[in-house]
């Protein structure tokens, strides 16, 4: 049912009328002008429409939408597309109208798409609720969910004549009710969908998205643009300073196996290979070419996308020698020379596909001077493609027919090797993704006594919190006078470290707030006075015995507005922000996250096995703390010193946010 | 004149015959079959051809090429294209034939292109010596020099129907004689060439290329693929280990203002904007769009390519408000909404072009629901483009006509914002490039006494070399017994450092070869024995007074096979390879190089003005040493300690290579 139907050809409402005409079921129109549209009566009111109605599309002025929605609700309609604009995107009045729609929808248990969206297309039903010209979209295995309606229009138009198509397209509009996360499961479960692509400008509920993506059962490729507009908490820790918006997206996408493309074109390039090719079991690629230069470019591109040139087995080279000229290249890339015939292509591709050292094949077809490119494509298509095969058809008109042949046979083709290698790289990453498993390295989950209140804890309290979750920390005594400091030092035993307690001082060492290796009471007393002079806002000091270790690392927790708690791990010390040797993962961490944290940082790679186990346990505990206690806003242990038999937290900062009334 | 003409349509020789038919001057054919080709007589011998001949194209079997060349030489022909294959690329026999060609050419002062190339195309003469079908290439402002003939063919074919074209295309083949560097000046000087693009797999004489590129007078874009196959000297210094092949290319391209594209497509994408748009004076871009999503994508893309969104002046926003809907977006991106008309486009583009805060404009045309995209293109084309304007035409058939309009008017268009922003980024880098100026910070060039011999110098000799070129080094005494070490320490004054002299020990500190802060003769004696025990191949020790400084940096010299000496600068200490905070420049360094070295490293950014001056002087001196003394193969000063009034070299390594007989 379309509410807002019109017979005026220039209007968007007429566009929707025309596109709905393709729907094989019953379509009803509601409009201000009574009469007949496409042979169907136009009703004046929603209430007058006969039959059960499954879906209503509203295209009436924004101010009238809540009433139309109310009428739909009374009529028992539970699914609505609000195509109208004029809501939150236009200011406060519009936002109020949007809120009114949500209230009506809640009352009638309506779920709606939009407002301010161009609707949905299902190419297989077919159903097209948009006003786009021409109607529908090329059919195919790719679903597209988009935060931008214009991109839906552009992507459909761009795909025409390019040999791929879509199962469903959804324009999400303002997402007042239904979001990308709500739509994802249904779109992924569509039997015609093999890959879900998404254009996102942000994600409302990050964790729910991650869970939905993990369960989706088909590859998801996201082009994410835009920055979080929510003001970021001014960073008061290295962890906070290093955790840009993108860090959380990357951690979440890694967890869920979502592939992140850097442009719309790349997203669609990858989608074709992911939809059409079998999984890629390893990272090796054989290149088969009829020209040397493109082979060199292909070899470069393969390595740039994290893949490797396969070492061909001797038997493969021997097989190739049977039919290729003796001056051909028999290593990888296999350079068949410009004289390569269609039969040479199919035999060479078959030969490298049989090679156990080969996980995928990139075939390059530079315009063959003595043959027709289309015949080469026919030969390639006839090969039994037991592993992924992508083809680079270099040129324009000379290879146009070859492209048609390849696309009809669902062999992904690209114009240059760079894009083809990128698609194989994405296929490899997706093929080797497995759902993460919880990290179970913690033996005795500690019971945490959470500090109350809001704001940054004092050092001694932060270290106590850390100690409380089972991360051993160096004994720490607070003192607010020189005398207390001397007494504390005496009870701990010399030498000691004396550290200034100054609110909001992040770079404490650099600011001269840390005195190390004080050997007797006189030095401690002098030290206390030095710190008093240096820091006018000194609240006191903490005294610790000197702690030594081989390596200093940093572990931390920060909270992202969209994805919640993240842990950070990396090289610690005073130069954390300069070294940038850190990695992030969603909290709580999984075994795969832990492997990633340790493998992608120098700090992780340099740990001994014993040390790695101790560090992992600390990270897991910190991750659990963050996941279970939302009031833990930010934690940083720096340095966490790695000692022969475990780790020791020497310095810690923690910010608690117990809700409204936060001071930080 | 074509040698190897034939009337058999299937043969490459016939292809060349047909393509030469388009040449407006006299064309002569030499072939085995007497007769007439395209109305011209076929001569049996080169000697029989009448008239002065400017250019000969040889397509005869490889074994006959030296004789044909000889005949050309006797005939007075000085320019030859050897299209035949079967030379160095096929093995030793072919290489011998190639050498024979070079001897003949030298005797007759012939310069030749190839062998194993597909020849040249000049679209304006027109001249086409290739066998490619169809003849010629689309005309336009882009020159293309290629190490791969197949890429020439592919690029021509790919460009058909895409609205840009070429001035000249050259396939360089085996480059036995003429290289990319030889061809560059002529191609760049062609009045029809506005941009030179190059596909390179390596560069023979790097410095000559840099000089030619600097003088070319038009933008040069290179897609460089492939790796140096020459065996690399096993790295015995941090500088050597960090200097990958690509470092030299990047340093050379930076010096010469050459833009480096990562794929063939990117190279051609950039070329269109560089050929058609005026210079871009700053890095700010205004985005004008009729759709929000693509605007967000554009904003992202602009930042990803090193550009910035312009802050529009208040007056500009006020001007836009005069004709755009009140709910449009008046900040940058300017979102005119889907209702934007062709007139809105031209007025908005004019408004942002007038804004002094705007250096370039990206216009986005998502298929307009109420207007025809072609009319929008007509409106954009009519605007006086005083600054660079690129257009993103999103879609396929719906914007095809718009693309035609834009291309005819030489307005660069792209399918998505990512590529458009990339092209503007390249334009900006090229527009702001200025030829480098020699760095003149050195007050008194030192006269260097070069050590003789070959191999790694001992530490004391290396420090002496460094000291000799005017970089102050810490006093250093060599000792081969404990007694000598104690005596040296006594003469230098305590505390001292004692360092092992062990051949080929790069990570000396890590290997326990450095003892610091020895306070008396007993400690020095004990230290000597400790080093003897740790290093079975100890040649002796050096003794130095302890040197302290705020910052430890590393400076070094390494030699690249293609580009000669490079200097390295960055964060020093034991962790140089881990920190990777280093940058490279060609030696001798220019002022612009120096700025780059200091600006792109933490080490450089953290130096005070005084310290930067002292460090710069050391780098300049080192660069001069490397440039003037080719026998200096590798130097590394690490650490170079920055002190309040200058720098002090504390440790140095140097390798001398006086030519044949090198031991390293």
pLDDT for A664 beyond 80: no
Size of interface A-B (CB pairs under 8 A): 190
Q: What CATH number corresponds to the domain at position B644?
A: 3.30.470.20
Q: Which of A167-181, B427-441, B644-658 has the highest mean pLDDT?
A: A167-181
* pLDDT classification of A445: cutoffs 50, 70, 90: low
Question: Between chains, do A394 and B157 touch, taking CB under 8 Å as contact?
Answer: yes
Q: At B472, list the tokens.
A: 């102050």
Contact B397 A293 (CB under 8 A): no
According to the model, what pLDDT value does residue A447 have?
A: 66
Q: What distance in Å separates residue B296's CA from the closest CA in chain A?
A: 6
B366 neighbourhood in chain A, CB within 8 Å: 150-151, 153-154
Average pLDDT over residues B6-27: 90
Per-residue pLDDT at B239 exceeds 80:
no
Same domain, A84 and A37: yes
pLDDT-above-90 percentage for chain A: 76
User: How far is the alpha carbon of A205 from chain B, nearest alpha carbon, in Å?
Assistant: 20
CB count, 10 Å around CB of A356?
A: 11
Predicted confidence (pLDDT) at residue A443 exceeds the cutoff of 60 = no
Whether A170 is in a domain gets the answer yes
**CATH number where A488 lies:** 3.30.1490.20
Element (DSSP H or E) covering residue B334: strand B334-335
Q: Does the beta-carbon distance from A150 to B262 stay under 8 Å?
A: no
Q: Measure CB to CB from residue A369 to each of B12, B291, B294 and give the nearest one.
A: B12
- Last residue of some domain: B226, B251, B273? B273
pTM attached to this predicted model: 0.91
Q: Where are the beta strands (DSSP E) in A147-270?
A: 166-171, 195-200, 220-224, 259-261
**Does B450 share its domain with B582?**
yes
| Shortest Cα–Cα distance, B247 to chain A (Å) | 16
pLDDT value, residue B539: 87
Tell me the average pLDDT across B379-402.
96
A133 contacts in B (CB within 8 Å)? 398
Residues B467 and B494 in one domain: no
pLDDT single digits (tens) B93-140: 999 999 999 999 999 999 999 999 999 999 999 999 999 989 999 999
Quote helix, strand, coil % in chain B, to nearest 5: 35, 20, 40
Are B192 and B236 in the same domain?
yes
Pick the closest to residue A48 from A71, A25, A66 (CA basis): A71
Residues A511 and A556 in one domain: no
- Per-residue pLDDT for B231 more than 50? no
Do B88 and B82 meet the contact criterion of CB atoms below 8 Å apart? no
| Rounded Cα–Cα distance for residues B332 and A578 (Å) | 32
Asked if the Cβ–Cβ distance from B157 to A399 is below 8 Å, we say yes
Task: For residue range A564-591, list pLDDT tens digits in order.
Answer: 999 999 998 877 877 789 999 999 999 9
Q: Chain B interface, mutation test: which of A327, A369, A393, most B Cβ atoms within 10 Å?
A: A369
Backbone torsions φ then ψ of A124, nearest 5 degrees: -95, -25
Q: Look up the CATH number of the domain holding residue A424.
A: 3.40.50.261
Q: Are residues B426 and B532 in the same domain?
A: no
Interval B293-345: pLDDT, tens: 999 999 999 999 999 999 999 999 999 999 999 989 999 999 999 999 999 99
Last residue of a domain, one of B113, B143, B173: B113
Contact A296 B149 (CB under 8 A): no
**Chain B nearest C-alpha distance from A147 (Å):** 7
Packing angle of the helix pair B314-321, B342-354 (nearest 10 deg): 160
Chain A residues inside the 8 Å CB shell of B399: 157
* Average pLDDT of the segment spanning B423-437: 96
- Burial of residue A146 (CB within 10 Å: 0-12, 13-18, 19+) is buried
Long-range contacts of A472-476 (CB under 8 A, 24+ apart): A472/A646, A472/A647, A472/A648, A472/A649, A473/A648, A473/A649, A473/A650, A473/A652, A474/A544, A474/A545, A474/A547, A474/A648, A474/A649, A474/A650, A475/A544, A475/A545, A476/A542, A476/A543, A476/A544
Q: Does B507 score more than 90 pLDDT?
A: no
Q: Which of A223, A293, A579 sits opposite B147 (nearest CB)?
A: A293
Which of B157, B180, B246, B341 to mutate: most A Cβ within 10 Å?
A: B157
Q: What is the pLDDT of residue A48?
A: 92
| pLDDT confidence band for A236 (50 / 70 / 90) | low
- The domain tally of chain B equals 5
- B400 and B265 in a common domain: no
In a mutational test of the B interface, the residue from A416, A417, A507, A550 whose CB has the highest number of chain B CBs within 10 Å is A416
End position of a domain, from candidates A492, A511, A545: A545
From A148, which residue of chain B is nearest by alpha-carbon distance? B293
Closest Cβ opposite residue B396 in set A10, A159, A294: A159
Please tell me which of the candidates A15, A150, A291 has its beta carbon nearest to residue B148: A291
Question: What's the rounded mean pLDDT across residues B628-649?
Answer: 92
pLDDT at residue A260, rounded to an integer:
96
Within-domain flag for A211: yes
Mutate to test the interface with B, among A225, A289, A341 (most CBs of B within 10 A): A225
Kindly provide the residue ranges of all beta strands, DSSP E only, lying in A621-660, ordered along the sequence. 632-643, 646-649, 652-656
Per-residue pLDDT averaged across B225-240, rounded? 55
> CA B641 to CA B637: how far, in whole Å?
10
Cα–Cα distance for residue pair B36/B42, rounded to 1 Å: 6
Asked if B147's CB is within 8 angstroms of A367's CB, the reply is no
pLDDT at residue B243, rounded to an integer: 67
Could you give the C-alpha distances from A392 to B154, B161, B227, B572, in angstroms and in order?
11, 19, 21, 45
Q: Are residues B325 and B178 in the same domain?
A: no
- For residue B579, which residues of chain A lie inside 8 Å, CB to CB? 579
How many Å separate Cα B347 from the centre of its chain? 40
Query: What is residue B537's predicted lDDT score, i.e. its pLDDT?
Result: 86
- Contact call for A293 and B201, based on CB within 8 A: yes
Q: Are both A100 and A127 inside the same structural domain?
A: no
- Among B225, B373, B392, B606, most A C-beta atoms within 10 A, so best to mutate, is B225
Out of B131, B291, B299, closest to residue A369 by CB: B131
Q: Which helix (H) or strand (E) holds A127?
A: strand A127-128
Domain for residue A467, yes or no? no
Classify residue A624: in a domain, yes or no: yes
| Residues in chain B within 8 Å Cβ distance of A366 | 150-151, 153-154
Q: What is the mean pLDDT of residues B220-230?
A: 74
Residue B362 predicted with pLDDT over 50: yes
A310 and A378 assigned to the same domain: yes
Q: Quick check: B280 pLDDT over 90?
A: yes
Both tokens of B46, joined, read 């080169």
Residue of chain A with shortest Cα separation from B396: A158
Q: What is the mean pLDDT of residues B211-234?
A: 76
pLDDT at residue A663 tops 50? no
Residue A636: inside a domain: yes
A166, A127: one domain: yes
CA distances from B452 to B261, B447, B449, B587 (A): 43, 15, 9, 22
- B446 and B515 in a single domain? The answer is no
For chain B, the average pLDDT equals 91
Q: Which residues of B touch A393 (CB under 8 A)?
A: none
**B316 — alpha (psi -120 to 50), left (phi > 0) or beta?**
alpha
Is the pLDDT at B83 greater than 70, yes or no?
Answer: yes
Write the CB contacts of B175 (distance below 8 Å, at least 6 apart in sequence): B147, B204
Which helix (H) or strand (E) segment is A557 a member of? strand A551-560
**Residue B124 structural domain:** 120-273
Q: Chain A residues with CB inside 8 Å of B159's CB?
A: 396
Output the six-digit token pair for A487: 């007494």
Per-residue pLDDT reduced to its tens digit, A100-156: 999 999 999 999 999 999 999 999 999 999 999 899 999 999 999 999 999 999 999
């Amino acid at each position: 049912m379309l509410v807002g139907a019109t017979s005026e050809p220039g209007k968007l409402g007429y566009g929707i009328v025309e596109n709905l005409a393709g729907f094989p079921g019953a379509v009803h129109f509601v409009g201000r002008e009574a009469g007949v549209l496409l042979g169907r009566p136009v009703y004046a009111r929603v209430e007058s429409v006969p039959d059960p109605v499954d879906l209503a599309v509203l295209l009436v002025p924004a101010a009238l939408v809540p009433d139309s929605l109310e009428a739909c609700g009374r009529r028992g309609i539970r699914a609505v597309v609000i195509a109208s604009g004029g809501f939150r995107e236009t200011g406060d009045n519009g936002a109020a109208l949007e809120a009114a729609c949500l209230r009506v929808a809640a009352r009638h248990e309506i779920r709606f798409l939009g407002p301010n969206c161009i609707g949905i297309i299902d190419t297989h039903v077919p159903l097209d609720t948009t006003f786009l010209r021409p109607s529908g979209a090329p059919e195919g295995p790719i679903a597209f969910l988009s935060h931008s309606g214009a991109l839906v229009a552009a992507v459909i138009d761009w795909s025409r004549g390019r040999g791929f198509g879509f199962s469903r397209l959804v324009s999400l509009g303002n997402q007042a009710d239904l979001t990308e996360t709500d739509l994802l499961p249904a779109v992924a479960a569509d039997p015609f969908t093999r890959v879900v692509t998404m254009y996102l400008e942000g994600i409302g509920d990050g964790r729910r998205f991650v869970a939905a993506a993990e369960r989706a059962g088909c590859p998801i490729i996201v082009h994410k643009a835009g920055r979080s507009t929510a003001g970021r908490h001014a960073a008061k820790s290295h962890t906070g300073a290093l955790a840009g918006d993108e860090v959380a997206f990357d951690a979440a996408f890694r967890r869920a196996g979502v592939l992140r493309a850097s442009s719309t074109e790349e997203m669609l390039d990858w989608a074709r290979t992911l939809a059409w090719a079998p999984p890629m079991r390893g990272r090796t690629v054989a290149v088969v070419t009829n020209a040397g230069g493109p082979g060199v470019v292909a070899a470069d591109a393969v390595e740039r996308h994290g893949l490797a040139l396969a070492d061909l087995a001797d038997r493969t080279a021997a097989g190739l020698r049977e039919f290729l000229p003796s001056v051909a290249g028999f290593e990888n890339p296999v350079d068949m020379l410009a004289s390569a015939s269609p039969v040479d292509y199919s035999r060479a591709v078959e030969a490298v596909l049989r090679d156990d050292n080969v996980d995928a094949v990139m075939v390059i077809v530079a315009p063959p001077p003595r043959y027709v490119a289309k015949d080469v494509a026919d030969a390639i298509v006839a090969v039994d493609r037991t592993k992924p095969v992508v083809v680079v058809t270099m040129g324009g008109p000379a290879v146009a027919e070859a492209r048609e042949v390849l696309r009809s046979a669902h062999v992904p083709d690209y114009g240059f090797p760079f894009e083809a290698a990128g698609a194989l790289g994405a296929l490899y990453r997706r093929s080797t993704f497995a759902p993460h498993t919880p990290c179970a390295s913690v033996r005795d989950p500690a019971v945490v006594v959470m500090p109350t209140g809001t704001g940054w804890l004092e050092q001694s309290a932060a270290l106590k919190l850390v100690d409380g979750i089972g991360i051993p920390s160096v004994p720490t005594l607070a003192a607010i006078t020189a005398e207390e400091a001397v007494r504390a030092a005496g009870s701990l035993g010399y030498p000691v470290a004396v550290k200034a307690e100054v609110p909001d001082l992040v770079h404490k060492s650099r600011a001269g707030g840390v005195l190390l290796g004080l050997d007797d009471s006189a030095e401690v007393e002098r030290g206390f006075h030095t710190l008093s002079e240096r820091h006018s806002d000194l609240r006191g000091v903490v005294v610790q015995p000197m702690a030594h270790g081989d390596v200093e690392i940093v572990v931390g927790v920060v909270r992202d507005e969209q994805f919640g708690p993240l842990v950070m791990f990396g090289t610690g010390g005073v130069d954390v922000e300069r070294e940038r040797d850190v990695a992030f993962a969603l909290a709580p961490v999984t075994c795969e996250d832990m492997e990633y944290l340790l493998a992608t940082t120098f700090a992780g790679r340099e740990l001994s096995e014993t040390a790695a186990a101790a560090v992992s346990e600390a990270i897991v505990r910190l991750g659990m703390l963050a996941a279970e206690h939302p009031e833990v806003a930010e934690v940083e242990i720096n340095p966490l010193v790695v000692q022969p038999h475990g780790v020791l937290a020497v310095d810690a900062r923690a910010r608690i946010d117990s809700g409204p009334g936060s001071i930080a």
